[in-house]
Amino acid sequence: MTETILNGHYNFAFLDEGAKREIRRSVLKAVAIPGYQVPFGSRELPISRGWGTGGLQITLSIIGKKDCLKVIDQGSDDSVNAVSIRKLITATTGVLTTTDTQASTIIQSRHRIPEEKMRNDQILVLQVPNPDPLKSVSPKEKESRNLHAEAEYSGIWLRLYEKIIKYGRTTMGADHPVMVAGRYVMNPSPIPRFDNPKLNLSDCLCLFGAGREKKIYAVPPYTEVVSLAYEDHPFTIEDVSSRSCKYCGATNVYFDEIFDSVTQEHYFQCSDSGYCEKRRK
């Protein structure tokens, strides 16, 4: 595959120029209306739908020859799907890649925001499986679109409330919904709650792409992003207090939980592999 792509059979960044321009326009609209889901003509890619094609279409549309790319999945640069996505992008663009958050200009990620703070000249592209927080209220787009237009989010609040009544807490794991710029409720993609605060007033532009659901949305830099919660049941992140990384000793980061089948040992390591690698150097 790599050979034919490099043979010039395919355009720079795979998609044809018209498609990329169209996607960039959707991105611009998304930036102009923070948290609003912009429908777009999602294209098929050589990578499976549901495997990051929304994020990938954004990356392919915004990437230029001078960009330096980092791709992570579950925080890891070496996860097979991250490798596969990185391989496609580099094969069709020839851009430089890195595992260092600081050295990158574009980071495409699934399920994590890197531990190191991203700068204003960087873009974070997140892959989104379920863009609509109202899906749990109504699976029908016809209805949820109206609810968004009217900022009618009581269904989501009710769900949070019901969980508290039933379990004594909100039981959302990852993908805890957020209010963006006081207007649109948005799914932050399945990042752990630990990462939600990083979206608030972030220096970098965060773009969200849902390929299968054909939606793009954005959180521009310095936008207020508040995780939904009741005053008497404040939003809490995952408890990482008593943990540290076995390899670099980091604390107060998100961890992977590892069971060593040989030694029967149970330990933690940084979920952000690039960060861990840097600390160990």
Partner 1 sequence: MAYVAVTGGQEAIEESIKLLKYYRTAGDKDLETEALKDKMKLLIDRVMSESGLYAPAYAALALKQCEGSLEEAVFLLRAYRSTLARNHYSITIDSVNMRIIRRISAAFKDIPGGQILGPSYDYLHRILEFGVLNESKEEIEEWRNSYEQSFKREEINPFLRVSNILREEGLLEEVPEDSREAFDITLNKLPFPIPRSARLQILARADTGYISGLAYGALRGFGAIHPTVGELRSGWLSVEIPYGLEEGQDIYVGEILVTEVECFMPAVKKTKGHDEMKVGIGYGCVFGRNETKAIAISILDSTLRVTGEAPVNDEEFVLLHGDCLEMNGLLAHLKLPHYVTFQSKLDQLRKKKEE
Footprint on this chain of partner 1 (rule: CB under 8 A): 10-11, 14-19, 22, 39-46, 48-51, 53, 73-76, 78-84, 87, 110-112, 129, 139-142, 167-169, 171-175, 190-194, 212, 214-215, 238-239, 254-261, 269, 271
CB of 212 to partner 1, least distance (A): 5
CB of 76 to partner 1, least distance (A): 5
Residue of 75, 204, 270, 274 marked catalytic: 270
DSSP state of 8: I
Residue of 8, 35, 54, 206 marked catalytic: 35
Active site includes 245?
yes
- Separation CA 34–CA 219 (nearest Å): 5
Q: In this complex, which beta carbon is closest to partner 1, that of residue 89 or of residue 223?
A: 89
Q: Pick from 220, 183, 188: which is nearest to 111 by CA?
A: 188
SS (H, E, C) 255-279: EEEEEECCCCEEEEEECCHHHHHHH
The SS3 assignment for 69 reads strand
CB of 41 to partner 1, least distance (A): 4
Active site includes 248?
yes
Residue of 54, 206, 211, 245 marked catalytic: 245
Active site includes 35?
yes
| Strand-by-strand arrangement of the 225-227 sheet | 184-186, 178-180, 225-227
Active site includes 68?
no
Active site includes 276?
yes
Q: Buried b / exposed e across 195-212, counting CB within 10 Å, b at 16+?
A: bbbbbeebebbbbbbbbb
Q: In this complex, which beta carbon is closest to partner 1, that of residue 42 or of residue 108?
A: 42
The alpha carbon of 142 is separated from its chain's Cα centroid by a whole number of angstroms, namely 25
Q: Which residues carry out catalysis? A: 35, 245, 248, 270, 276
